[in-house]
C-alpha cells in the first residue's frame, strides 16, 4: 500500500514525509483493518513530525483522524460488519486496568497507545485499530466532512466540557483553526456567546461568519469579561492575556498537546479563584457524545482537500495558518 512515512523527525519545511510502498497491515485479535478514504491533518501531526513530542515509533505513519470502511476482521472481532464506515481517532488503546482507566479517566491512562504516534496512523491506504476504539460515523457526514470531527471535533468538545460553560455564558477562543471551527458551532448550539481572538484576519472573518459576537487580534481584550476561555493555539504567551480576559472564578482551558513555554505573570491574573487546566486526549465516551451532537446540530466543516501525496504541503499550509477550517487528505483513489 501507499503510505506517508516519517523516517526521522524534521522541520516540516524540509518535507520529511516520504510517500512509500509498504505492506498492508493485518488485523490482530480484536482488531479491524480499515481501507482509508480520508484522513484529517491535525496540529498534533506537526508536533509528531517536528519532534516536539518525543518519538515513540520510527518510522511511523502519522494521522489520527481516519475515516474509511472496515475491510477485514481480526480474530474475535464482531462489533462492525465488513463494509461498515468507521472512524479511527487519536486514542488507539488503553490498558483498562490502571487507576485512571478504572475510574473512567481513560484519557489519562498510564499505558496508552496513540494512532499515528506510537502506532501507525492514517496517512496511508490502510490502517488497523482495535474495534473497541473505533467509532461508527453518522450518516449525514461525507468522508471528508467526518475526518476532522475525529480530533479537532472531539478535543474541541472535551475542551468545552472542561470549560464548564453554561447556556447564556461568555466564552473566548484563542486561535481559530479546525478545533475552534467545530467548537464554535457546538457553543452557539448551546446558546453560548463566543469571542474569537486570533492573529489571522481571515480566521477572524470566519469566526464572525460562524456566529462569533466579536473577533479581534490575539492580544486585544474582548469587549466583555469571559466566563471561560479555550486556548487552541500552541503559544504560551497567550496564557496571561487570556487570564486577563476572565471574570473572577473564570476557567482557562489549554486545548493543545504541546505549548511553547508560558511566560511568568502576576498572581493577580490568577487570584480570585480563576482556574487554568489542560486537556489531555479524550475518553471514548467524549467521542460518542460528540459524534451524536455533531449529527444533531449538524456541524458543517470548511475543509481544504489534498491528495495523500501532498501531505507535506498540507502540513506546511497548516503551520503557516493558510488553512481555513480543516485540511483533509483524500486517500481513496489517490495515485
Which residues bind to Zn ion, rule: CB under 5 A?
42, 44, 94-95, 98, 101, 109, 151
Q: Give min distance, CB of 216 to Zn ion, in A.
A: 26
Give strand pairing partners of 93.
Answer: 113
- To the nearest whole angstrom, how small is the minimum distance from the Cβ of residue 213 to Zn ion? 27
Residue 24 vs 98, nearer CB to Zn ion: 98
Burial class (CB in 10 A: 0-12, 13-18, 19+), 112: buried
CB 13 within 8 A of CB 105: no
Q: In the bound complex, what is the minimum distance in angstroms from residue 219's beta carbon to Zn ion? A: 26
Max CA distance (Å), the chain: 58
Indicate the Cα dihedral angle 129, 55, 285, 196, nearest 10°: -130
- Closer to Zn ion by Cβ: residue 25 or 153: 153
61 close to 129: Cβ distance less than 8 angstroms:
no
Residue 248 Cβ vs Zn ion, minimum distance, rounded to whole Å:
33
Query: What is the nearest approach in angstroms of Zn ion to the Cβ of residue 101?
Result: 3
Give the separation between CA 178 and CA 241, rounded to whole angstroms. Answer: 22
Q: Looking at beta carbons only, is 66 or 269 nearer to Zn ion? A: 66
In the complex, the smallest distance separating the C-beta of residue 181 from Zn ion, rounded to whole angstroms, is: 13
245-261 burial: b if 16+ Cβ within 10 Å, else e: bbeeebbbbbbbbebee
Q: Coil, strand or helix: which one is 139? A: coil
| Closer to Zn ion by Cβ: residue 100 or 214 | 100
Least distance to Zn ion, CB of residue 312, Å: 18
- Is the Cβ of residue 95 or residue 237 nearer to Zn ion in the bound state? 95
Q: Look at residues 120, 69, 24, 22 and name the one whose alpha carbon lies nearest to residue 332.
A: 69
Q: Give the integer Cα–Cα distance in Å for 253 and 232.
A: 9
For Zn ion, give the closer residue by CB, 44 or 204: 44
CA 254 to the chain's CA centroid: 13
CA angle (176, 271, 160) in 5-degree steps: 30
Which DSSP state fits 221? P
Nearer to Zn ion, 110 or 220 (CB): 110
Residue whose CB is less far from Zn ion, 114 or 141: 114
CB 237 within 8 A of CB 215: no
Measured from the CB of residue 155, what is the shortest distance to Zn ion in angstroms?
A: 6
Q: d(Cα 176, Cα 173) in Å, to the nearest integer?
A: 7
Amino acid at each position: 500500500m501507499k503510505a506517508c512515512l516519517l523516517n526521522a523527525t524534521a522541520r516540516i519545511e524540509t518535507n520529511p514525509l516520504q510517500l512509500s510502498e509498504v505492506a498492508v497491515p493485518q488485523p490482530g485479535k480484536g482488531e479491524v483493518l480499515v481501507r482509508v478514504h480520508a484522513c484529517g491533518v491535525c496540529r498534533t501531526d506537526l508536533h509528531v513530525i517536528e519532534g516536539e513530542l518525543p518519538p515513540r515509533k520510527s518510522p511511523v505513519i502519522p494521522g489520527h483522524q481516519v475515516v474509511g470502511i472496515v475491510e477485514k476482521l481480526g480474530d474475535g472481532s464482531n462489533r462492525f460488519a465488513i463494509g461498515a464506515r468507521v472512524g479511527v481517532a487519536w486514542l488507539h488503546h488503553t490498558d483498562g486496568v490502571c487507576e485512571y482507566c478504572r475510574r473512567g479517566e481513560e484519557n489519562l491512562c498510564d499505558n496508552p497507545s496513540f494512532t499515528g504516534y506510537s502506532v501507525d496512523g492514517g496517512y496511508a491506504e490502510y490502517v488497523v485499530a482495535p474495534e473497541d476504539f473505533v467509532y461508527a460515523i453518522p450518516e449525514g457526514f461525507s468522508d471528508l466532512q467526518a475526518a476532522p470531527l475525529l480530533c479537532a471535533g472531539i478535543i474541541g468538545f472535551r475542551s468545552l466540557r472542561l470549560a464548564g460553560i453554561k447556556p447564556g455564558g461568555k466564552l473566548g477562543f484563542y486561535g481559530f483553526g479546525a478545533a475552534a471551527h467545530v467548537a464554535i458551532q457546538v457553543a452557539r448550539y448551546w446558546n453560548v456567546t463566543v469571542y474569537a481572538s486570533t492573529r489571522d484576519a481571515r480566521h477572524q472573518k470566519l469566526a464572525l461568519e460562524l456566529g462569533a459576537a466579536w473577533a479581534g487580534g490575539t492580544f486585544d481584550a474582548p469587549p466583555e469579561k469571559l466566563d471561560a476561555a479555550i486556548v487552541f493555539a500552541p503559544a504560551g504567551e497567550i496564557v496571561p492575556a487570556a487570564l486577563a480576559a476572565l471574570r473572577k472564578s473564570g476557567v482557562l482551558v489549554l486545548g493543545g498537546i504541546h505549548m511553547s513555554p508560558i511566560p511568568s505573570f502576576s498572581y493577580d491574573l490568577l487570584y480570585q479563584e480563576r482556574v487554568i487546566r489542560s486537556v489531555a486526549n479524550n475518553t471514548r465516551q467524549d467521542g460518542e457524545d460528540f459524534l451524536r451532537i455533531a449529527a444533531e446540530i449538524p456541524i458543517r466543516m470548511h475543509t481544504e482537500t489534498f491528495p495523500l501525496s501532498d501531505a507535506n504541503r498540507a502540513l506546511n499550509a497548516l503551520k503557516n495558518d493558510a488553512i481555513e477550517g480543516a485540511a483533509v487528505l483524500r486517500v481513496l483513489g489517490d495515485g
